[in-house]
Structure 1
């Protein structure tokens, strides 16, 4: 598969990158941020973003076991702690939006484990990675173009 176009407006890319950086910084947990971005990218089938964020996750100290079991995090026992599980549940709910809303129990679970500010940054991070996924998938950008 070849890219449809590699053109992306520089101002758009800079704005999305700034939102991503602000959300990661406000969340304050680089490893968790990468787990969230990888999980959304798995759901959205974004090979470019998976390639990039798996590389960053390894550099951020995310364990290979977590990366191996991320797609099945709900069944992975104690591989993920409660905070990570709440963030992943929220990530899936915001990414899929099957019923048009994030279920109250998913939001409340996350709200119990994150401050209001952290929750705002987590939600922003999920929103921006979904945006990046859509930008990359719609243009069919293949993996391998990320240079750390």
Structure 2
């Protein structure tokens, strides 16, 4: 299904949410979060899209490769690790977002930035669910 063509108002609303959420966030953190959520949701289209954007934002190949095992890697800053932990908690919702995960993210991101980070996480999850459900694959527009 070409979701954009079939439901253009919904698609445009998600685009607007996405644009509002990403304002003011570090582009590398933004892409790491989007790649990780896309990995968890098994969205091949979004993984390709965001790894390409991450490289454009200056991300290294090695950090992109190790992202699926970020907890065991020494390549990520404390703030990036907090953002990735929050991404996993919000994406998987394993009985809610644990207090310690939220508090660690709040230590590294101001309230407004944290709100935008949370919005980016739930927005990438919307994109992932839209693309996985409609079978959007890399190389398709």
* TM-score bracket, shorter-length normalisation: over 0.9
Partner SS, residue 3 of structure 2:
coil
Partner SS, residue 23 of structure 2:
helix
Alpha-carbon distance between aligned partners in 2 of 1:102 and 1:7, rounded to the nearest angstrom = 30
Deviation track 1:48-83 (CA, whole Å, cap 9, x = no partner) reads 111111111110111111101000000002x00000
| Aligned counterpart in structure 2 of residue 107 of structure 1, from 77, 92, 102 | 102
For these two proteins, the number of residue pairs brought into alignment is 139
TM-score with structure 2 setting the length: 0.95
| Aligned counterpart in structure 1 of residue 55 of structure 2, from 37, 45, 58 | 58
Contact kept, 8 Å, 1:111 with 1:119, in 2: the verdict is yes
Higher relative contact order (CA 8 A, sep 6+): 1
Across the aligned residues of Structure 1 and Structure 2, the Cα RMSD in angstroms comes to 1.0
Residue 145 (structure 1) aligns with: 140
Unpaired runs of at least 5, structure 1: none
| Aligned counterpart in structure 2 of residue 91 of structure 1, from 81, 84, 87 | 87
Alpha-carbon distance between aligned partners in 2 of 1:7 and 1:129, rounded to the nearest angstrom = 16
| Aligned counterpart in structure 1 of residue 64 of structure 2, from 64, 67, 70 | 67
Alpha-carbon distance between aligned partners in 1 of 2:19 and 2:107, rounded to the nearest angstrom = 24
Contact kept, 8 Å, 2:17 with 2:123, in 1: the verdict is yes
Residue 6 (structure 1) aligns with: 2
Contact kept, 8 Å, 1:31 with 1:60, in 2: the verdict is yes
Residue 15 (structure 2) aligns with: 17
- 1:6 Cα offset (Å): 1.6
Contact kept, 8 Å, 2:38 with 2:46, in 1: the verdict is yes
